Amino acid sequence: MSMFVGESLVGEGNEVSHIDLLIGDKNGPVGVAFANALSSQKMGHSNLLAVLSPNLAVKPATVMVTKVTIKGAKQAVQMFGPAQYAVAKAVADSVEAGVIPKDQCEDLVIVCGVFIHWEADDDKKIFDYNYEATKEAIARAMKSEPSADEMLAKKSEASHPFYAG
């Protein structure tokens, strides 16, 4: 398979993390999306590589894309600080744990959509929630979870946390 899709929602309040991600071959559609994300910067949507520290990018190479418009310096620093480190650490830990095969790190890329609420205040929660959500989204992607059977079995009881209807 050339593309794996993962999703996870972790946390609460303004620091809630909602991660959507794609993992796939550099030569496939995820590779194209990765290149487009890095080369198509727009005001308020600065896409960035996930790095453990400056000059230490993770493998597989991971680009973070903003899911909301960044509206100020505080929100930008949260994206380029605790969220960036959380995503990078989750990718590195997923490789270390064997969730992402180490021998495929140079062949794969990740596109990771990250949500930072414009009123988020707690950088530790931003880190913790984004770390857990990214790890979970990666694991789900690599296992193709949920299966169609699981989705169908749970759809009638499912409720969405941001829909009150």
Which of the residues are catalytic?
18
Summarize the chain as % helix, strand, coil (round to 5): 40, 25, 35
On the 0-12 / 13-18 / 19+ scale of CB atoms within 10 A, 163 is exposed
- The C-alpha atoms of residue 123 and residue 114 are separated, in whole angstroms, by 14
Closest CA to 22 of 109, 90, 123, 114: 109
Give CA–CA dist 63/112, Å, rounded: 6
Give the separation between CA 68 and CA 116, rounded to whole angstroms.
Answer: 7
